Amino acid sequence: MQIVFLGTSSAAPTAERGLSSIAVMRDGELLLFDAGEGMQRNFIKSGLGMNRKMKVFVTHMHADHCVGLLGLLQTMSLLGREQRLDIYGQPRLKEFLEENMRIINFGLTFEVAIHTIEKEGTVVQERDYQVTCCEALHSVPALSYRLDEFDRPGAFNVSAVKKLGIPEGELYGRLQRGNDIEHNGRTIRSADVVGPARQGRKIGISGDTRPTDKLIRFFSGCDLLVFESTYSHDKHAKALETLHSTAAEAATLAKEAGAKKLFLTHFSARYDETSALVKEASAIHGNVQAAEDMKAVDVPYP
């Protein structure tokens, strides 16, 4: 699993930072969280690929988080995308996309399925992972997202199985899936040749929000948390006014949630560089980095 930051500025882009967008590459599938205006340029530069299995999750209906979807869809069509694209967001997202696509009148070379999120909870559940959402606290209705991989089967002891004379094929698969088998008149227990289940990875993405107790619970135990830190602590009054967070508040929430690693993002354009915000957050949480446009981060298994 790898995270690629495609845009890390807040409402206004800067020369170094585009508007909000985060790509998560996992097992050949791309999960995209938000699509700020112009994000397709960094999408192309990153080499993520325009014609792969892909889902898009939008946190809220502010231009710096959703307007880039229009350009992304058109760019995908111009580059010949064929695979279906699934987009998830609040009810206004469907209206926004359908009306703008009607007005601009650009044709698509692929199917777009727009899924409306009506309540908190599970948004997508696949065979080996799920994406859930939680209400965020912002100036418009907003969501935070969490990606959880399900536990993987334990390590399969191939040498032990071979010593037992079990032929490769169906019996191997049954043991790996946790089923006991019968072979040559004896029972072979899966637990004897398969180790304990291995934890999957957990990633949280805040979108725009104030810190809340609900989000502390929602992000509990994340291996990596990406949380907005629009302002430094000296602009706390501004954060309260605009319903954003400071770097210190992001770090406090991450610490209380038990998140192992914190990435700060969504920086106000007033900050030419982010070392002061990282320093502020690092005084509270022991593992903090600042997101940068085009920065790629590997997410190892626990």
Examine the residue annotation and report whether 64 is marked as an active-site residue of this protein: yes
The CA-atom distances, in angstroms, between 84 and each of 30, 33, 76, 165 are 13, 17, 11, 46
DSSP string, 186-234: EEE-HHHHB---B---EEEE--S----HHHHHHTTT-SEEEEE--B-GG
Per DSSP, what are the bridge partners of residue 246? 231
- Name the active-site residue from 64, 148, 208, 223: 64
Output the pLDDT for position 176.
85
Per DSSP, what are the bridge partners of residue 87? 56, 114
Strand order in the sheet with 112-116: 112-116, 85-89, 54-57, 29-33, 21-26, 2-7, 296-298
| DSSP letter (8 states) at residue 235 | G
Q: pLDDT tens digits for 256-294?
A: 999 999 999 999 999 999 999 999 999 999 999 999 999
**Which stretches of the chain score pLDDT less than 50?**
none
Encoded tokens for 177? 């899936």
Per DSSP, what are the bridge partners of residue 156? 194
Q: For the chain, list the domains and their CATH numbers.
A: 2-152+198-298 (3.60.15.10), 158-193 (no CATH)
What's this model's pTM, rounded to 2 decimal places?
A: 0.90
